[in-house]
A and B are shown apart, each in its own frame.
Chain A
Amino acid sequence: MPAIVPTTSASTDAPVTSHRRRSRTAYLLLIPGLGWLGIFFVIPIVTLFFTSLQAPVEGRSGVYQAAFQISNYGEAISEYWPQFVRSFTYSSIATILALIIAYPLAYFIAFKAGRWRALMLVLVVAPFFASFLLRTYAWRTILSDEGFITSSLNALHLLPDDRILNTSIAVILGLTYNFLPFMILPLYASLEKIDPRLIEAANDLYARPFTGFRKVVWPLSLPGVVAGTLLTFIPASGDFINAKLLGSPGDSMVGTAIQVNFLQFRDYPIASALSFILMAIILVVVFIYIRRAGTEDLV
C-alpha cells in the first residue's frame, strides 16, 4: 500500500537495495517508538476486548467488574445492527463516489500537470490546514434548505425529501468530501509510477484512448485504487461527525453509538463491544490485503 503521504524524494537513480547492517542498534532504535505503540495502541485494543466482556457491579451504575459476559456482544449487535449496516452502506457509497471524483484529478496531476504538479499536490493537501469540523459544518451553509443548490434541485423535483441537509444524502456527501484527499493521494502515488511511454506504446499499437486507459493505466493503478479504497472506507465507517453535523438522528452510525455509550451512557462494556467489532471487521479486511500483497509496501 503506497503511503498516503506523497513526499518528493531526492533526485535519484539509486539502486533500491542498499546494504543493510545486522546490528543491535536496530533494536535500540525501535524500542522507544514501538514500545509506545505497544503500550498505547496494542494494549488499549486488548483492554477494549476485556472491557467488552465486563459485567456491571450490583447496585452501582457506571461501575463494572472483570467478567466473561459474552452476551454483551449479542446485546450490542441486536441493538445496534442498523448502525453497522448504515455505517458500511454510507461509507461504501462515499468510497465509490470518492474514487470516481478523485481519479480524474489524480490522473491529471500524474500525467498532465507538468511543472504545476507540486503546486497541485499542495492544493490537494491544503484543506487539511483548515479545521475539518468547520469545513464539515460549512456544508450546512452550502446545502442549506434556502441555499442555491437545494433550491435548484428542488425546482427540478430531484429531491425525495425536499431537502438535502439533515438527510442521509448530506451525510454521504460529507463523508465523500472529508476523505477525498485520502483517495487522491494513493491514486496519484500509483499513477505517477506508470511510465507514460506505456500509453504511447498502446496508442502505437492501435488502442484508442479509452481502451488504452482500460487496458494499461487502470490495471497498473490498481494498487493505488486498493490503497485509496481502504484508506477512505475504513475511517469513513467509524466516523460520526458527518452524521451528527449533517444528518438527522435517524442517520446515526456506529461511531455515534460508540461515542454516546462511552461518554454519555457510560455503558463501557457495550461501547467497547461495538468498538471491538468495528476493529475486528477492519482487521479482517486488512489481513486479506496483506495476504495478497505482503507487508513491505504498507509503510
Chain B
Amino acid sequence: MRWLRRNIIGIIAILVLVYLFVPIAVVAVLSFNQPEGKYNTSWNEFSVAAWQNICGVPGVCSSFALSIQIGLIATAVATIFGTMIAFALVRYRFRGRDTTNLLIFLPMATPEVVLGSSLLALFLNLTFPLGFWTVTIAHIMFIISFVVVAVKARLQGMDPRLEEASRDLYASPRATFRHVTFPLVLPGILGAALLGFALSFDDFIITFFNAGTLVTFPVYIWGAAQRGIPVQVYALATLVFFVALVLVVSVQLVNARRRRRLEASVAAQ
C-alpha cells in the first residue's frame, strides 16, 4: 500500500503513456487483419495479405508518394526560411521584434480550419488553380513557425563566448559562422527539418481545403473512411510509425551511450 502511494505518480504516468499508444497498437494489430466486410474496425482473422501486397489498392501508394514529395519540398524551403528568421531574432537587433514574434506565433495558435480556409479564400479570389502547388505553399507557410522555434532554442543555448573565442583566433565573421556557429546549430536545424516533415506528411485539414482534386495520403484516408479504409493503409501507417520510432529511439540510445562513455573517460582521470 505504501509502495502504491509513493509511486502513484509514476504509475499514472505510465498509464498515460500507454493511453497514448493504445490506438497505435490497434492500428498495428488491424494491419494484420482480414476484415469481414469493407470496414477494418474489428478483428476477424489473421492475414499478412495487406503487407505482402502493400500497393495493391490503387491510390494508396500514389497518395503516399505524393505526401512524401510535398513533404520534402515544403520542409526544405520552410527550414531555410525559418532558420534565417531564427538567426535574425537571436543575433540581431532590429525594429519590429514584437511584430515578428507575433507573426511567427500566430500560425501556430490559429486553428487549422482557419489557416486552410483563409488560404482557400485567397486562391479562389485569385482564381489560382488548386493542386500540388497550393498544398505545398500552404505547408511551407505553417512549417516556418515551428522551424523558427526549434532553431531559436538551439541558438540561444549556444555559448556566445565560443564565437568570441573564434574572433580572438583570427576568424573573420564569415569564417566564424562557417567553422563554429553553423556546425553547432546544425543539429537544431536538422531536428527542425524532421519535425517539419512530420507535420507536413500527416497534415490533413489545411491540405484538404487547398488540394482541389489532389489526393495526399491523409486526404486518401479521409475519403476512404466512408467507404472502408483498405488494410494496406493500416500497414503503411504502421510501417511509417515503426521506421520513425526506431530512428528516433536509436538516435537517443546512441546519444545516451556516447554520454556514458564521456562520463567514464572523464571519471578515469
Chain A contacts to B: CB under 8 angstroms? 1, 3-5, 7, 9-10, 12, 14-16, 18-23, 25-27, 29-30, 32-34, 36-38, 40-45, 47-48, 50-51, 101-102, 104-105, 107-109, 112, 115, 118-120, 122-142, 144, 146, 177, 180-181, 230-231, 234-235, 237-241, 244-245, 254-255, 258-259, 262-263, 268, 271-272, 275-276, 278-279, 282, 286, 290, 295-296, 298-299
Q: Provide a sorted-by-A list of 29 A–B residue pairs whose CB atoms are within 8 angstroms.
A: A5-B149, A9-B157, A18-B160, A26-B92, A40-B122, A43-B122, A47-B121, A101-B16, A108-B9, A108-B12, A122-B248, A122-B249, A126-B20, A130-B240, A137-B41, A144-B42, A230-B109, A231-B108, A235-B111, A239-B113, A240-B205, A241-B205, A241-B222, A245-B225, A259-B208, A275-B121, A276-B114, A295-B98, A298-B102
- Counting contact residues on chain B (CB < 8 A from A), the size range is 35 or more
Q: Which residue of B lies closest to A118 (CB)?
A: B252
Picked from B21, B91, B93, the residue with its CB within 8 Å of the CB of A127 is B21
**Cα distance A139–B20 in the bound complex, in angstroms:** 12
Kindly list chain A residues whose C-beta atoms are within 8 Å of the C-beta of B146.
Answer: 5
- Min C-beta distance of B24 to chain A, whole Å: 5
Question: Does residue B265 face the partner (Cβ distance < 8 Å to A)?
Answer: no
Nearest A residue to B40, CB-CB: A141
Which B residues are CB-close (under 8 A) to A142?
A: 22-23, 26
- Residues of A near B75 (CB, < 8 A) are none
In-complex Cβ contact of B20 among A22, A127, A231, A255 (8 A): A127
A177 touching B113 by the CB < 8 A rule?
Answer: no
Interface majority SS on B: helix, strand, loop or mixed? Answer: helix
User: A51 to B248, alpha carbons, bound, how many Å?
Assistant: 44
A146 to B108, CA, bound (A): 39
Nearest 6 pairs of A and B residues by beta carbon: A238-B111, A9-B157, A18-B160, A33-B81, A108-B13, A26-B92
Q: A29–B218 Cα gap in the complex (Å)?
A: 33
Residues A14 and B85 in contact, CB atoms below 8 Å apart: no
A105 and B160 in contact (CB under 8 A), knowing A37-B107, A134-B237, A142-B23?
Answer: no
Q: How far is the CA of A101 from the CA of B89 in the complex (A)?
A: 35
Given contacts A7-B154, A34-B85, A230-B109, contact A299 B149 (CB under 8 A): yes
Report how far A240 CA is from B225 CA in the complex, Å.
14
Give B208-267 interface residues, CB cut-off 8 Å to A. Answer: 208-209, 217-218, 221-222, 225, 229, 233-234, 237-238, 240-241, 244-245, 248-249, 252, 255-256
Contact residue among A25, A30, A125, A275 (Cβ-Cβ distance under 8 Å from B113):
A275
CA distance A85 to B188 in the complex (A): 41
Contacting pair B112 A238 (CB below 8 A): yes
In the assembly, what is the distance between CA of A167 and CA of B149, in Å? 38
Cross-chain contact B138 with A40 (CB below 8 angstroms): yes
Q: Residue B195 at the A interface, CB < 8 A?
A: yes
Q: Are B104 and A36 in contact (CB under 8 A)?
A: no
Chain A proximity of B142: nearest CB distance (Å): 8
Docked CA distance A31–B196 (Å): 20
A residues near B108, Cβ cutoff 8 Å = 4, 231
Closest-CB distance, B171 to chain A (whole angstroms): 16
Q: Which residue of A has the minimal Cβ distance to B198?
A: A128
Taking a contact as CB atoms under 8 Å apart, the answer to whether B42 and A258 are in contact is no
How far is A51 from B121 in the complex, measured between Cα atoms in Å? Answer: 7
Q: Indicate whether B120 reaches chain A with its CB closer than 8 angstroms.
A: yes
The smallest beta-carbon distance between A138 and chain B, in angstroms, is: 4
A75 to B115 CA separation, bound complex (whole angstroms): 22
Q: Of A36, A50, A133, A255, which is within 8 A of B225 by CB?
A: A133
Does A138 contact B27, Cβ atoms closer than 8 Å? yes
Enumerate chain B interface residues (CB-CB to A < 8 A): 9-10, 12-13, 16-17, 19-24, 26-27, 30, 41-42, 80-82, 84-85, 87-94, 97-98, 100-115, 117-122, 124-125, 137-138, 140-141, 144-146, 148-150, 152-154, 156-161, 184, 188, 191, 195, 198, 202, 204-205, 208-209, 217-218, 221-222, 225, 229, 233-234, 237-238, 240-241, 244-245, 248-249, 252, 255-256
Q: Which of B90, B92, B100, B217 contacts A22 (CB 8 A)?
A: B92
Closest CB in chain A relative to B38 CB, distance in Å: 13
Q: How far is the CB of B151 from chain A (nearest CB, A)?
A: 9
A122: chain B residues within 8 A (beta carbon): 248-249, 252
B159 near A26: Cβ-Cβ < 8 Å: no
User: What is the bound-complex CA distance between A20 and B156, given in angstroms?
Assistant: 12
Check A275 against B114 for contact (C-beta < 8 Å): yes
CB-based nearest A residue for B233: A134
A118 surroundings in chain B (CB, below 8 A): 252, 255-256
Interface pair A33/B202, CB less than 8 Å apart: no
Find B118's partner among A48, A120, A135 (CB 8 Å cutoff).
A48
A107 to B10, CA, bound (A): 9
In the bound complex, do residue A290 and residue B102 qualify as a contact, i.e. CB atoms below 8 Å apart? yes
Q: 17 more A-B contacts (CB under 8 A) besides A27-B88, A133-B218?
A: A1-B105, A10-B184, A18-B160, A33-B144, A47-B121, A47-B122, A51-B125, A112-B10, A120-B17, A122-B252, A124-B17, A126-B20, A130-B241, A262-B117, A275-B113, A295-B98, A299-B89
